[in-house]
Amino acid sequence: MSRVKLNIVGLSTGQTSGSYTLILGEENSNRKLPVVIGSFEAQAIAIEIEKIVPFRPMTHDLFVNFCKSFEIQIHEIVIYSLNEGVFHAKMICEHNGEIKEIDARTSDSIALAVRFKCPIYTYEDIMDAASVVFNDDAGQTLEDATPVKPKSKNKEESKEFTKMTMEQLETMLENAISVEDYGTAARIRDEIQRRNK
């Protein structure tokens, strides 16, 4: 299966308080992979990107210090699965010459990737299923982006969303984010935005 290298393009605020969208961009392409993450993970990623040194080590910094103390190196992060809207990632680590794969949340994996300065990868089928395409317009936002391949199941689900009240949609959005069902969360977000136009 073909691997795709990703870079962090940016962070944007989500539709609900406490949620953010992490934008991962494919190298040498305009395809982007949006991943909804929590505020703590967004803060952990932003702090490292901006080179802000907290007064005391944050959780991800503590993990890095622990790994370095015991000579554990993270070589790469792989977003290997998209299951019912939830991204699954693993960290490829090395200790004493032995390679291990450790399952982790995508947001935590990326917060560690920026600290270890290691590459982030995914697979072509995940990009086909969940990426969006940005045009050359520099002012374009995530909401303006074009999905690469909308799925028929998603279209049927989106029709169901049109029958719901805004209150029901907002509750469903919070529930989807809490269980990391980011695909469903994105479709609910789209319906809320459509109504607010």
What range defines the domain where residue 175 resides? Answer: 150-196
pLDDT (0 to 100) of residue 153: 44
Task: Report the C-alpha gap between 118 and 97 in whole angstroms.
Answer: 17
Q: Which helix (H) or strand (E) holds 98?
A: strand 98-104
Please indicate, yes or no, whether residues 120 and 25 belong to a single structural domain of this protein. yes
Evaluate whether residue 28 is within a structural domain.
Answer: yes
Instruction: Count CB-CB contacts under 10 A for residue 105.
Output: 16
Evaluate whether residue 97 is within a structural domain.
Answer: yes
Q: What is the pLDDT along the chain (197 residues), one digit of tens a residue?
A: 799 999 999 888 766 667 788 999 999 889 999 998 988 898 899 889 888 878 788 899 999 999 999 999 999 999 999 988 889 999 999 999 999 999 999 999 999 999 999 999 999 999 999 998 866 554 455 555 544 443 444 555 566 778 888 888 888 877 776 665 666 767 787 788 788 76
Task: Report the C-alpha gap between 187 and 136 in whole angstroms.
Answer: 24
Evaluate whether residue 181 is within a structural domain.
Answer: yes
With b meaning 16 or more CB within 10 Å and e meaning fewer, what string describes 116-136?
A: bebbbbbbeebbebbbbebee
Please indicate, yes or no, whether residues 81 and 118 belong to a single structural domain of this protein. yes
Evaluate whether residue 143 is within a structural domain.
Answer: no
In the chain, the number of structural domains is 2
Which residues on neighbouring strands pair with residue 21, listed in sequence order? 12, 36
pLDDT (0 to 100) of residue 84: 80
Evaluate whether residue 85 is within a structural domain.
Answer: yes
pLDDT (0 to 100) of residue 190: 77
Do 92 and 113 touch, CB atoms closer than 8 A? no
* pTM, entire model: 0.69
SS3 state at 97:
coil
